[in-house]
Every structure is written in structure tokens, then in C-alpha cells.
Amino acid sequence: MTCQAILNPPKTTLRPDQTVAQAMAILFAEHRLSLPVVDEKGRYRGMFGIHRLLGLALPKAAGLDQAPHLAFVSDRPDDIRARLKAVADQPLSRHLDETVHPIRPTTPLVETLLLLYRSRDDLPVVDDQSGTLVGVVSLRDALDTLAKGA
């Protein structure tokens, strides 16, 4: 049994040339935590989602491995909005989340659940040979599918 059992074809994808603001609007409209970003040939480029948006709202140092605690920073909501506004018109290609490792269509089901459990986010499924996006396994859909079969 592979991840195919809980795999959904990608309903909505983002393009690398779309702006951060456009992506944010789509994420909110679709009620999604994250969406895959694919190029014009359908090749997977990375993920973009709420987590990345939160990162963009924080000082850049927050993205470092050795990030300090930021309790000393006394920014107000307006300051945080200003950070998001500064990147709103930038293309997604500059802000892809490359920490999400795609899985293969042949990844076993239990391993897929383990990766979902660890990543706490939806996972892209990518064809090894062509690099094209095959689908997405989402936390919600995976549990929904498995629960229905119980």
C-alpha cells in the first residue's frame, strides 16, 4: 500500500511568477495551509503557505538556524503589516518553502503518515523522473479517507 491511497490530484496550484499577495488571497479563499508551486510545464518548484507567510511577517533573522528569541522586539501590528506589504508584490519564486521534502508516488502509506505527522503540513507528491507534481497528500484528506474506510 502506497501514498496513492490518500493521494489527491492537485486542485489548486500556484505559479512562481504569482505575487505573494496573490498567493495569500488564494490560500485564504481555499482555506489551505499551503499549496504547491509548479512551473508552466507542471514541474514542482516548492511549497508556499501560511508558515512561510508568518516567516515573512517576522524579522529576517527569525529564519536563521541560530535565530535569537525575539521577546526584546516591541513591534506593533502596523510594523508587522509593513513587512508583509514590503514583499506583497514580490514573486513567489523568491519565497518558496524549500524545507518541505516532496514524497514519491511509491512512498509506502505508513511512511507517508509518519512524514505528515512530522511535517505537520501537506506534502507534495512528485514524479522522480520528470519532476512533475502528481498530487498532494493533505493532513485533513488523509485522515478523512482513512476514517471513512474504518
Neighbours of 70 (CB within 10 A): 12
Q: How far is the CB of 83 from another protein (least distance, A)?
A: 8
Note whether 5 binds another protein by CB under 8 A: no
Query: Looking at the DSSP assignment, which residues form a beta bridge with residue 43?
Result: 132
Residue 34 CA to residue 55 CA, distance in Å, equals 13
Query: Which one of 8-16, 27-35, 44-52, 53-61 is the stretch in contact with another protein (CB under 8 A)?
Result: 53-61
Backbone angles phi, psi at 148, to 5 degrees: -65, -35
Residue whose CB is less far from another protein, 54 or 70: 70
Note whether 16 binds another protein by CB under 8 A: no
Residue 46 CA to residue 94 CA, distance in Å, equals 11
Among 17, 30, 79, 89, binds another protein (CB under 8 A): 79
Q: Which three cell numbers stand for residue 2?
A: 502506497
Residue whose CB is less far from another protein, 64 or 147: 64
Residue 21 CA to residue 148 CA, distance in Å, equals 36
Which amino acid makes up residue 147? A
Q: How far is the CB of 101 from another protein (least distance, A)?
A: 18
Query: Which one of 18-26, 36-44, 73-81, 131-139 is the stretch in contact with another protein (CB under 8 A)?
Result: 73-81
Query: Using an 8 Å Cβ cutoff, are 105 and 125 in contact?
Result: yes
Residue whose CB is less far from another protein, 73 or 114: 73
Which residues in this chain contact another protein in the complex, by CB under 8 A? 59-61, 63-64, 66-75, 79
